[in-house]
């Protein structure tokens, strides 16, 4: 009898091509974190010095943990939970790994909301409607207080569901191979536009000329937490993607390519946002509303602003969609692996679950502010719990596991003896200590 490998219940015979894996992983890493959150936290924590700190954190902690996740995934050839069990023989690790299966599910439910805003804004901008009323803050609040965000959230989840349903090489890989280079072209166009605006150089120097007096312990922890978020660590995504990588591919080289890609996209995003905000006299530390409220004001005042604004929001949407795809793949791989569900069944059950969980979060931002516990609205609560509690815990589990319990880690990582020693030192000592600090700080247990 002919056995169709792709329909095997665990799905583990599916594989990325080598470039497909790099594009998919960069697609996961480059997301709203780079385009939406990174600019406003860089604005809030003082610009260039913060950026530099982020680069340092990315290199000394982010890259080692990224390599560890990829090695765990490829070594275990299972989900973010079962890979741990296969490599250690202990169910306890599988239980700990569950943190990295639950976190992406929660993150996805609110990430899809913001992704939906970007699609809505892209439409508004191209159609010119965005600029018919220049009170952008009122427009944004008006949009949020209605039910349209839920519609867009549903659109995002359905789109992403179709991609993941098509599988690793036929869906995720193809989608990223087209969109990641496409995104690069859009970024370069927008960067040239931003850098040629009058007064753009003040923005460039804010972003690239460090003033170290602005660094504080708090900004260091924020930078480190963001390095984790930006590389999609601690959430099972890189373990899951790693489980679909061919044995012959070098994970060390892959890690450098993914880290380099993430940094490059963040750098260009900064070279779009800061020159633009400075050129139009907007405060870059404005906070989460920066790209939805402040930037439309800038676009409305520039020639062909509707076009450039539309491109900008399309860019955000692509970044968000390729990341959401990786978030969805984590619980999908898990349910295929653990319960033998089909890929299609897993996708739609999880998508529906995410929508149900996400709707109250979306409504809590406007239409139903009463959806709150202890004064914190659902959206913030879910963000806080997943990004500040589950994510650092997931990261800690990875470093401890790869550093102390995973016997074959050297062989899987494939580093030279010297680099391996450096890597192990980071995993055993530096990363766990720093991650514990991030956790204590981001969960509010320690304050500065």
Q: How far apart are CA 333 and CA 328, in angstroms?
A: 9
Asked if residues 76 and 54 have their Cβ atoms less than 8 Å apart, the reply is no
Q: Which stretch binds ligand PHE (CB under 6 A): 25-33, 65-73, 274-282, 375-383?
A: 25-33
**Nearest Cα to 82, choosing from 393, 337, 347?**
337
Does residue 320 sit in helix, strand or coil?
helix
Among 24, 32, 165, 332, binds ligand PHE (CB under 6 A): 32
Residue 38: C-alpha distances to residues 234, 277, 373 (Å): 18, 14, 28
Residue 408: C-alpha distances to residues 61, 79, 411 (Å): 21, 18, 6
31 lines the binding site for ligand PHE (CB under 6 A): yes
By beta-carbon proximity to ligand PHE, the closer residue of 229 and 355 is 229
Q: What is the nearest approach in angstroms of ligand PHE to the Cβ of residue 35? A: 8
By beta-carbon proximity to ligand PHE, the closer residue of 32 and 409 is 32
Site residues (CB under 6 A) for ligand PHE, limited to 43-102: none
Residues 6+ apart with CB under 8 A from 325: 24, 27, 28, 160, 163, 164, 172, 175, 176
Q: What is the nearest approach in angstroms of ligand PHE to the Cβ of residue 10? A: 22
Backbone angles phi, psi at 376, to 5 degrees: -105, 125
Neighbours of 93 (CB within 10 A): 24
Q: What is the nearest approach in angstroms of ligand PHE to the Cβ of residue 107? A: 6
Q: Which stretch binds ligand PHE (CB under 6 A): 27-35, 92-100, 242-250, 437-445?
A: 27-35
Among 11, 34, 329, 409, binds ligand PHE (CB under 6 A): 34
Size of the site for ligand PHE (CB under 6 A): 15
The one-character DSSP state at 73 is H
The one-character DSSP state at 374 is T
By beta-carbon proximity to ligand PHE, the closer residue of 232 and 399 is 232
DSSP string, 118-161: HHHHHHHHHHTGGGSS--HHHHHHHHHHSSHHHHHHHHHHHHHH
Q: How far apart are CA 21 and CA 27, in angstroms?
A: 10
Site residues (CB under 6 A) for ligand PHE, limited to 98-157: 104
By beta-carbon proximity to ligand PHE, the closer residue of 29 and 315 is 29
By beta-carbon proximity to ligand PHE, the closer residue of 167 and 395 is 395
By beta-carbon proximity to ligand PHE, the closer residue of 29 and 314 is 29
Q: What is the nearest approach in angstroms of ligand PHE to the Cβ of residue 323? A: 4
Site residues (CB under 6 A) for ligand PHE, limited to 323-362: 323, 326-327
Q: How far apart are CA 364 and CA 379, in angstroms?
A: 6
Q: How far apart are CA 318 and CA 269, in angstroms?
A: 13
Measure CA 380 to chain center. Answer: 17
Site residues (CB under 6 A) for ligand PHE, limited to 233-262: 235, 237
Q: What is the nearest approach in angstroms of ligand PHE to the Cβ of residue 31? A: 2
Among 28, 79, 100, 220, binds ligand PHE (CB under 6 A): 28
Q: How far apart are CA 156 and CA 153, in angstroms?
A: 5
By beta-carbon proximity to ligand PHE, the closer residue of 230 and 249 is 230
**Nearest Cα to 159, choosing from 346, 351, 335?**
351
Q: What is the nearest approach in angstroms of ligand PHE to the Cβ of residue 351? A: 16
- Sign of torsion, CA 441 42 255 336? positive
By beta-carbon proximity to ligand PHE, the closer residue of 28 and 219 is 28
Q: Specify the DSSP element, H or E, that contains 291.
A: none
309 lines the binding site for ligand PHE (CB under 6 A): no
By beta-carbon proximity to ligand PHE, the closer residue of 297 and 397 is 397
By beta-carbon proximity to ligand PHE, the closer residue of 78 and 104 is 104
Site string for ligand PHE, 193-232 (x = CB under 6 A): ------------------------------------xx-x
Q: What is the nearest approach in angstroms of ligand PHE to the Cβ of residue 225? A: 12
Binding site for ligand PHE (CB under 6 A): 28-29, 31-34, 104, 229-230, 232, 235, 237, 323, 326-327
């Amino acid at each position: 009898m002919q056995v169709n490998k792709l329909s095997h219940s665990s799905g583990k015979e599916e594989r990325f091509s080598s470039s497909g894996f790099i594009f998919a992983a960069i697609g996961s890493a480059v997301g709203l974190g780079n385009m939406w959150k990174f600019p406003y936290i860089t604005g809030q924590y003082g610009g260039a010095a913060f950026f530099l700190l982020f680069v340092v954190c990315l290199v000394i902690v982010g890259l080692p943990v990224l390599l560890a996740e990829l090695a765990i995934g490829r070594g275990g050839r299972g989900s973010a939970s079962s890979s741990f069990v296969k490599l250690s023989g202990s169910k306890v690790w599988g239980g700990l790994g569950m943190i990295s299966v639950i976190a992406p599910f929660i993150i996805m439910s609110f990430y899809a909301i913001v992704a939906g805003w970007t699609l809505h804004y892209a439409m508004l901008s191209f159609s010119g409607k965005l600029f018919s009323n220049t009170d952008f803050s009122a427009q944004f609040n008006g949009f949020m207080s209605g039910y349209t965000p839920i519609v867009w959230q549903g659109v995002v989840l359905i789109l992403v569901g179709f991609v993941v349903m098509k599988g690793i090489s036929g869906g995720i890989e193809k989608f990223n191979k087209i969109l990641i280079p496409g995104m690069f072209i859009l970024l370069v166009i927008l960067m040239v536009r931003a850098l040629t605006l009058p007064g753009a150089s003040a923005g460039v120097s804010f972003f690239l000329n460090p003033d170290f007096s602005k660094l504080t312990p708090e900004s260091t922890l924020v930078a480190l937490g963001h390095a984790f978020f930006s590389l999609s660590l601690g959430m099972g995504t890189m373990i899951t993607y790693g489980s679909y990588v061919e044995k012959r591919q070098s994970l060390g080289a892959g890690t450098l390519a993914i880290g380099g890609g993430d940094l490059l996209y963040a750098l260009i995003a900064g070279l779009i946002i800061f020159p633009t905000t400075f050129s139009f006299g907007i405060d870059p530390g404005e906070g989460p509303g920066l790209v939805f409220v402040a930037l439309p004001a800038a676009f409305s005042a520039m020639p062909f602003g509707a076009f450039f604004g539309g491109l900008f929001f399309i860019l955000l949407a692509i970044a968000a969609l390729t990341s959401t795809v990786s978030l969805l793949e984590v619980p999908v791989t898990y349910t295929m692996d653990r319960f033998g569900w089909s890929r299609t069944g897993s996708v739609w059950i999880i998508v529906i679950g995410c929508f149900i969980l996400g709707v109250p979060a979306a409504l809590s931002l406007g239409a139903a502010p009463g959806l709150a516990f202890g004064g914190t609205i659902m959206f913030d609560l879910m963000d806080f719990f997943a990004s500040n509690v589950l994510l650092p815990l997931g990261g800690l589990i990875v470093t401890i596991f790869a550093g102390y319990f995973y016997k074959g880690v050297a062989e899987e990582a494939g580093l030279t003896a010297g680099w391996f020693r450096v890597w192990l030192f980071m995993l055993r000592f530096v990363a766990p200590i720093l991650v514990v600090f991030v956790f204590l700080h981001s969960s509010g247990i320690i304050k500065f």
